[in-house]
Amino acid sequence: MIKTTTTAAFLASIIVSIPISAIAGGGHDDKHWGYEGHSGPERWADISKEFKLCDSGKEQSPINISGAKTSNLPAIQFDYKPGNLEILNNGHTIQVNRAEGSSITIGGEKYELLQFHFHTPSEDTVDGKAFPMEMHLVHKNAKGELAVVGVFSRVGDKNAVLDKAWEHMPHKAGGKKLIASVNINAVDLLPADRSYYSFKGSLTTPPCSEGVKWMVMKNPIEASGRQIKHFTQVIGNNARPVQPVHARTVSMM
């Protein structure tokens, strides 16, 4: 689980307003963190006191999804709209920002889509298996609660939506492009079967704030090996290792 400017300390309460810069995959902070060496995930909590939950939290993401219990989960109602491509490289991921108007509704609660971004390999795993890539669609409701939809990618046919986005991918950190001539709709990056796993979690990047509703699609989409390799060549591996589940229950449709 989402890095454009300063990472704000995200309160693990579910009624605060959350700045987009601090949301799962986003949070390019002056307190440098990364995915390897002295700034890697094992050291995040040492970098800043604001990142202490990265080590002490009990509902951290990502997780290994195993032993999920079948539950009467509500279907996710996707209401995504097409929009111009705004794509950025924040040094930690490739992120696509979305204008207002796209949303999901789950259990009667509406969450606006803010952005989606990618991790290679996947951050969440299923029965110990990682996928080549995972997309996180980051949403927020009127009360400041976050909901992230995770979508795995397996190697297969070239993905037409990614093809449009990757053509304009900024190769340098800090690069950002608004391509008015390119129209994309995030709904085209979802699997046809939208059954999912559900669990409580956190941001997968510092400050690792908790109180995030996670819904990970059970079925992957396809992307070509070349598309996944292109992302990795630009960003590198950007997956936080799986975290202990502790007392959490993982439910599934």
Q: Which residues are catalytic?
A: 92
Cα–Cα distance between 85 and 81 in angstroms, integer?
12
Residue 251: partners with Cβ closer than 8 Å, 6 or more residues away: 68, 69, 70, 71, 73, 197, 198, 199
Phi, psi of 29 (to 5 degrees): -105, 155
Tokens representing 247 are 């007392």
Residue 11: partners with Cβ closer than 8 Å, 6 or more residues away: 209
**Burial class of residue 55 (count of CB atoms within 10 Å of its CB; 0-12, 13-18, 19+):** middle
**DSSP for residue 235:** H
Please confirm whether the linkage preceding 19 is cis (ω < 30° from 0): no
8 Å CB contact between 147 and 112: no
Phi, psi of 55 (to 5 degrees): -110, -40
Sign of the torsion angle spanned by Cα atoms 38, 171, 97, 113: negative
